[in-house]
Amino acid sequence: MAHRWTNNLTRADVTPYGAYLNRRELMAGLAGLGLGLAGITASPARAETLEPNSWDDITSYNNFYEFGTRKDDPKANAGGMTTTPWSIRLDGMVDRPGTYDLAQILPQMMIEDRIYRLRCVEAWSMVVPWQGFELADLLDLAGVQDGARYVAFETLLRRDEMPGTRYPVLDWPYVEGLRLDEARHPLTIMATGIYGKPLPNQNGAPLRLVVPWKYGFKSIKSVVRITLTDSEPPTSWNKAAPGEYGFYSNVNPNVDHPRWSQKAERRIGGGLFAKKVPTLMFNGYEQDVAGLYDGMDLARHF
């Protein structure tokens, strides 16, 4: 648990789930009475720009190709995924390889609130109030061996529960990877919930990776296997289109996707007339993570 990351946004910056649903009514009512509501009207300026998206936005607009390629497919089709019991295989260069039961892992982890930006490679973005624990803590549970340099992840592949996997859209199962220092970075978490509720299946239940300074597809969902290796693991989108999706996939407004610009993004939930907003270097986490890439040419290692 070295250099634990401190969240400068607190629970008070999250619009409570209940208030969120009633927010319009509340605002209208309270404005009429001349009252303010702490946490909504008194948020600091920075938190205002990071106002989390609604539960509906976060859980209805998803990329989870195992359940279909349309944004509304995951919500419609992911209900059939069995998420309990759930176990994760921790193997490769670890001291204690094995199949770990999630129910036994969770009590040993420190679950925190993390309000993160989420930037999809498709040039849209959201703000998500996650709950989760640092991946570093899970890796320590298995004991990372000295020579390990990368972490490989694998998503569940259960064809009868995942209709999208009947088509060769990608080479199933979905795999992803991080360099060990990226994986151990305090910003990198394994998420278990949103808005204090368990992760919905379409968001990667029961356990998913969240790497907030990388494009969303790096944050692999419904993880069943984590392997420590000494060489760069293959990643699904890199295998599908290496010219478009590199291993690092750091959010970078200066490096365009070959088919579209990455300079700006559209915030989900803005409606039909919302303007795009500029994309931030490392998705706004430059201060925290730029050091990981010192000396690297980010246009080549994209």
Partner 1 sequence: MFADRINRALRRLPAWPVYLLALAHVIWLIWLGATGGLGIEPIEALEHALGLTGLKLMIAALAVTPLRRFAGINLLRFRRALGLTTFFYVTVHLLVWLVLDIGDPAAIWADIVKRPYITVGMAGFVLLVPLAITSNDWSVRRLGPGWRRLQRLSYPAALLGASHYVMLSKGFQLQPMAYLAAVLALLALRLPWKRWRREIPTA
Binding residues for Mo-molybdopterin: 62, 65-66, 120, 155, 203, 208, 219-221
Smallest CA-to-CA distance from 174 within 232, 240, 230 is with 240
Phi and psi at 222, nearest 5°, equal 40, 60
Round to whole Å and give the CA distance between 88 and 80: 19
Round to whole Å and give the CA distance between 132 and 210: 9
Closer by beta carbon to partner 1, 70 or else 149: 70
Residue 258 C-alpha from the chain's centroid: 23
Of 29, 36, 44, 72, the one binding partner 1 by CB under 8 A? 72
Strands (E), the chain: 87-92, 98-101, 112-119, 124-134, 150-155, 175-179, 189-194, 197-198, 208-210, 223-229, 264-267, 277-278
Does 1 help bind partner 1 (rule: CB under 8 A)? no
Does 213 help bind partner 1 (rule: CB under 8 A)? no
Residue 28 C-alpha from the chain's centroid: 33
Of 33, 38, 45, 272, the one binding partner 1 by CB under 8 A? 272
- The 3 state secondary structure assigned to 42-83 is CCCHHHHHCCCCCHHHHHHCCCCHHHCCCCCHHHHHHHHCCC
Rg of the Cα atoms in the chain: 19
Task: Identify which range of 57-65, 92-100, 153-161, 287-295 contacts partner 1 by CB under 8 A.
Answer: 57-65
Which residues between 143 and 172 bind partner 1 (CB under 8 A)? 167-170
Does 23 help bind partner 1 (rule: CB under 8 A)? no
Of 147, 160, 273, 300, the one binding partner 1 by CB under 8 A? 273
Q: Are 50 and 117 in contact (CB under 8 A)?
A: yes
Does 25 help bind partner 1 (rule: CB under 8 A)? no
Distances (CA, A) of 26 to 21, 22, 196, 279: 9, 6, 21, 32
Smallest CA-to-CA distance from 89 within 134, 186, 155 is with 155
Of 3, 24, 275, 300, the one binding partner 1 by CB under 8 A? 275
Which residues between 222 and 261 bind partner 1 (CB under 8 A)? 240, 256, 258-261
Phi and psi at 115, nearest 5°, equal -95, 110
Of 61, 130, 133, 195, the one binding partner 1 by CB under 8 A? 61
Q: Which residues are annotated as a binding site?
A: 62, 65-66, 120, 155, 203, 208, 219-221
71-74-75-77 Cα dihedral, nearest 10 degrees: 130
Of 16, 39, 97, 269, the one binding partner 1 by CB under 8 A? 269
Of 16, 23, 60, 163, the one binding partner 1 by CB under 8 A? 60
Which residues between 99 and 128 bind partner 1 (CB under 8 A)? 122, 124
Task: Identify which range of 14-22, 92-100, 142-150, 273-281 contacts partner 1 by CB under 8 A.
Answer: 273-281
Does 65 help bind partner 1 (rule: CB under 8 A)? yes
Of 264, 277, 296, 299, the one binding partner 1 by CB under 8 A? 264
Does 181 help bind partner 1 (rule: CB under 8 A)? no
Of 23, 71, 149, 179, the one binding partner 1 by CB under 8 A? 71
# chain residues binding partner 1, by CB under 8 A: 31
Q: List residues binding partner 1 (CB under 8 A).
A: 56-57, 60-61, 65, 69, 71-72, 122, 124, 167-170, 240, 256, 258-261, 263-264, 266, 268-269, 271-276
